[in-house]
Structure 1
């Protein structure tokens, strides 16, 4: 995990060095501390804004190097726009915008006057800004060789100037845990597949034991004994053996049924015998982003001591076109006993999830099951890169996840399920086939998984467009975004902590 800035929260005055950050609302409206900066610099802010046409619009920045009348090396203004329209997710973006606007240089100290024209930021707003600042600071440079003899720059020290800093420190470690979980997911997705195979991925997930997570790693002999033959069928074309990792966090004192998080972990997906086109295939190192989100979430929950019972399970395989690989036309028997006709070996993630869904229900009796997978390109065609597709028959849990997504910025959009779509995966020679054809591809994939969810309160999230190779934004600048960790952490925090009762079912969609 990369070296992150250190953050402090305390009352501050004008800094004697480093970068000073102030906020401005629409029309260059300033808070009290920013007005002190304006006085000390003899009207520098107003003059610079007029010269640059800067008006304090939301997330717009203005940088003034070596500001007169101040000892700071640079002055950065971050726009807030209309204060009445800023959401929790917007404040996280503000923090990311700050990190992106900081100048490089030997002096790494940063002071943020955390106030608006209406007064100091609230505790929640301050924590959101700090979270965004950490997330934007993430870089993945593990494989870049150092150039020259210059030492690595020291971590930034960021001081957020606040009069109410006392109550923030107590909550900051929990927020930092969420940031670390998100960045762990990013690290996993960003790793090349020659480094991170199923065995290596399992070893990294097993490190969660250091945080009190109970770890069980299932190897091929045990998977065969458990009759996970749909999952093993995907792995049989690779020389690298499959792994399933079960991670249990038991933080509730009430004995509540666990939340189950199920992740697709195809460490590299060639498509198998139904091989993918060469263009862009390198991105298929990220086909394990669902599993990465589950591991990152388990890290966040354990690190902050979530008072909930959560089980994470990930299926780790590599899909390769070896002579031992499964073929179109093969029929496999899943752990549930249902048979599957293989139409396309590139529709492999759903085979992995099918056995995991059966296993987690039988072994753990969860309250709610949420599976996450970079499952289809079709969801990107439907929703682009800004929402993940969500499938469930339950209105209540759909609303809960939608609200958690809006709060955190990990957005989900509910997609349809129905019998007419389900018939598209009926097979003439088996119980079902593993793809329903070109049309409604993401929906028929969800319908496939639904057949293994049985009567569970179940949600499928297709994050193919949001978790890997998504466009850069205010808080994510690398191939892996860590999408899903903040969503799932918030869902658990809002609805399943402190021994909360089972999620009530809404009317069927």
Structure 2
């Protein structure tokens, strides 16, 4: 569950009585807000003394230090958070994240009087305060957050759309963090179906329906698993009735052993995150519904499990896609592109989208190329790509454009079929994107985002604890807002 935030009037008597944590937003230098001065007097000058120390002066905007068991207060700690009066959105979110990082079951009261970007502070706090601890005996679920602001009613209203996005990011992180014995393909589909309650139209296609549609590439990936393949279609109709939708497409491999081309044991436990693309699509659709976006968007996710079994597809198999093209399976661990090939084609045939974006934890080559700081973006359309990169930059989610080109096609040429599913080691992320491009119609503006490196980074980030990041929910929500609602 996302952190719950409420805004209230600044109340000095209530602040004195807080027994847990207090966080105070303070400028790097100069006069401090009136209520903070009053708090400083109650603490016998401890705030101002701390602000003269080298430890405070070395902090960057958005960073913090703690004063434990402050004199004159009931609180167990007062956190001093450095934030300029004219802070940027990034600085404000980092300041909130510093509070969220220290958030415990006792909660926190934040003194934000005099701070203009209090809503962005709340957003950063909510994102960084997230925890996934449902399988731990000693849970450390964050307690309540009260933010004392100048205009709490206005802040509450302004925070609503950001709260919707924070809820959606938490939803995506939860999905990515779930173990595969819990988040099976059917459980995943059921959780998405529950979003009918917030206004989404949700349709689940089972294996007979997928067979009838000709999605043999997708079905082949999951045929070695006892967990049946599913395709889930989510629709949000908030725009003009006849306006073509934006289509969001997600790879949802709930666990990836590599199939017959089995992966090494080391690190395989992280392959619960191979449904990250589907998780992001689901999160974006949730955000749009919760904030009642004025746009038409459809999300299509393919849910399978890639397991070795007597029924599993083999290297050397040839499968036919929904489009009709044949694919020689060289490596069963290059399975995500087979899933995407069919649902990319399905989305275009059914919805005739104005644009299409797919997300997938597709290649280890992407991690080698860009590490864990940037997702790789491939595109056939300059306008859509530039808008996507701009949205990612404004949300602080790293994205870097990668090349496409006909010269890479020769690497996926097959002697037996129309193409093969992998071009080998060299330019692996590019040949994967080049493969997907064959299932995108010339008239469809399209971006492919390889999120292999950013979905489950090895360390905490500015706005997320160690674990699932939810990368992409904020970017795509902003893209919809700027391209379709402005």
- Indicate the TM-score class for this superposition, using the shorter chain for normalisation: over 0.9
Deviation at 1:88, TM superposition (A): 2.2
Q: TM-score, normalised by structure 2?
A: 0.94
The change in CA–CA distance for 1:83 and 1:404 in structure 2 (over 3 A counts) is farther
Report the number of matched residues: 481
User: How far has the Cα of 1:494 moved from its partner?
Assistant: 1.2
Q: Secondary structure of the equivalent of 2:12?
A: coil
Corresponding residue for residue 126 of structure 1: 118
Residue 211 of structure 1, CA deviation: 1.0
Contact 1:408 1:486 in 2 (8 A): yes
1:262 is the counterpart of 2:249: yes
SS of residue paired to 1:430: coil
Query: Which of these residues, 393, 396, 410, is aligned with residue 423 of structure 1?
Result: 410
Question: In structure 1, the residue corresponding to 2:313 is in which secondary structure?
Answer: coil
Q: Deviations over 1:299-339 (max 9, x none)?
A: 11111111111100000000011111111111111111111
Among 56, 60, 64, the alignment partner of 1:54 is: 56
Structure 1 residues 153 and 266, CA, compared in 2 at 3 Å: closer, same or farther? Answer: closer
Superposed displacement of residue 295, structure 1? 0.8
The match for 1:16 is 16
Please tell me the root mean square deviation across aligned C-alpha atoms, in Å: 2.1
Unaligned runs of 5+ in 1: 147-151, 499-509
Q: CA offset at residue 38 of structure 1? A: 2.8
State the partner residue of 2:157: 170
Partner Cα separation in structure 1 for residue 371 and residue 399 of structure 2: 12
Residues 139 and 478, structure 1, Cα contact 8 Å, conserved in 2: no
Report the equivalent of 1:459: 447
* Larger CA deviation: 470-479 vs 482-491: 470-479
SS of the equivalent of 1:496 reads helix
Matched, 1:272 2:259: yes
- Structure 2 unaligned segments of length 5 or more: list them: none
SS of equivalent residue, structure 2 residue 308:
coil
Q: Which residue of 2 aligns with 1:501?
A: none
Find the aligned partners of 1:453 and 1:339 in 2 and give their Cα distance: 15
Residues in 1 aligned to 2:30 and 2:432: alpha-carbon distance in whole angstroms: 50
1:138 paired with 2:135, answer no
Structure 2 matches for 1:243-258, cutoff 5 A? 243-258=230-245
Find the counterpart in structure 2 of residue 63 from structure 1.
Answer: 66
1:97-148 deviation line (CA, Å, top 9, x unaligned): 112134x57xx35332225xxxx333xx2222111111222211121224xx
Q: Partner residue of 2:109?
A: 111
Is 1:387 equivalent to 2:378 in the alignment? Answer: no
Partner residue of 1:342? Answer: 329
Q: Is the 8 A contact 2:62 2:92 kept in 1?
A: no
Measured in 2, the distance between the counterparts of 1:255 and 1:32 equals 54
Query: Which residue of 2 is the match for residue 281 of structure 1?
Result: 268
Structure 1 runs (4+) deviating above 6 angstroms are none
Query: Conserved in 2, the CA contact under 8 Å of 1:61 and 1:101?
Result: no
**TM-score using structure 1 length:** 0.90
Query: Counterpart of 1:89?
Result: 90
User: Bigger shift: 25-34 or 405-414?
Assistant: 25-34
Q: Secondary structure at the match of 1:210?
A: helix
Partner of 2:38: 36
Deviation at 1:51, TM superposition (A): 5.2
Q: Does 1:5 align with 2:8?
A: no
Distance, in Å, in 2 between the alignment partners of 1:289 and 1:250 is 24
